[in-house]
Amino acid sequence: MTQITTGRVDRKVVLISGAASGMGAAHAWALVREGGSVMVADIQVDAGRRLVAEINAESGREGAAFVALDVTDFGGWEVAVAETVRCFGRLDALVNNAGIGSRGSAADADLDDWDRVISVNLTGTFYGMKAAIPELGKHPTSSIVNVSSIAGLVGFKQRAGYSASKWGVQGLTKTSAMDLGPQGIRVNSIHPGSVNTPLTAHLTRGFGQVPLDRAADAEEVSPLVVYLVSDESRYVSGTAIAIDGGETAGNNLRPIN
């Protein structure tokens, strides 16, 4: 079936890391439905290829392609950027979405887990930006969307490494907005709260702290990514946008009496 698009990202070419599942996959669907082309990059090769086949079948065009990528490998990022330009002719936006969780406080977190979460979530984001900037700088309205978390806006109990990595993403984003603005590259971070994805499927969570009283579906985050990739946000840079059902607005659990 041919999908009708509204063309909010017509002709935009977007590279998304960690796009084989969860929110990244939802962003890939949304961007292609809005007229863009998407390079799905992930360590999950089979799932990534399957997603690309489904998107292309539904959209009736070759709007998606796949490249294998481990975000902790800078050489892999260079290949992913080159592959995107080879397939689609240019690169307009990068969505640094790949991420993993970690457990433990500063007292009990495992040293290897700390290194791993910083490497994937923070260093992976830096590598992606560094590899993409030469191509992004060729166009006046380029955009980088870094996926942080509410754990990068407030403290997060028992998630020392994860929270540190996501705060690092926010700092890298704000600094890069200042550095890259003159090249026409906007850089923003988004901070989802509780979202139903494979990453969180094993967690038992209550939503009393969320004013909207529920988790989000991945598709509810994608419109924000579409907005930040599109030229609708052409004056938006260096900002950290929460998309969390109000979770970080205040203390929702404080008794009223």
Residue numbers at the binding site for ligand NAD (CB under 6 A)? 17-18, 20-24, 42-44, 69-72, 97-100, 120, 147, 149, 192, 194-195, 197-200
Shortest spacing between CB 253 and ligand NAD, in angstroms = 19
Choose between 70 and 220: whose C-beta lies nearer to ligand NAD.
Answer: 70
Shortest spacing between CB 41 and ligand NAD, in angstroms = 7
Shortest spacing between CB 201 and ligand NAD, in angstroms = 8
Q: What are phi and psi of 197, to 5 degrees?
A: -145, 175
DSSP three-state, residue 25:
helix
Query: Which one-letter DSSP state was computed for residue 74?
Result: H
CB neighbour list of residue 235: distance below 8 Å, 6 or more residues apart: none
How far apart CA 132 and CA 127 sit, in angstroms, is: 8
Strands (E) in 72-135, as ranges, are 93-96
CB neighbour list of residue 219: distance below 8 Å, 6 or more residues apart: 26, 29, 30
Choose between 72 and 252: whose C-beta lies nearer to ligand NAD.
Answer: 72
Q: Which of 127, 162, 227, 235 is catalytic?
A: 162
Shortest spacing between CB 50 and ligand NAD, in angstroms = 12
Q: What are phi and psi of 113, to 5 degrees?
A: -65, -40
Quick one: how far is CA 12 from the chain centroid? Answer: 16
| Residue 162 designated active-site | yes
Shortest spacing between CB 185 and ligand NAD, in angstroms = 21
Quick one: how far is CA 204 from the chain centroid? Answer: 24
Q: The tokens of 123 are what?
A: 């260093």
How far apart CA 5 and CA 221 sit, in angstroms, is: 18
Catalytic residues: 162
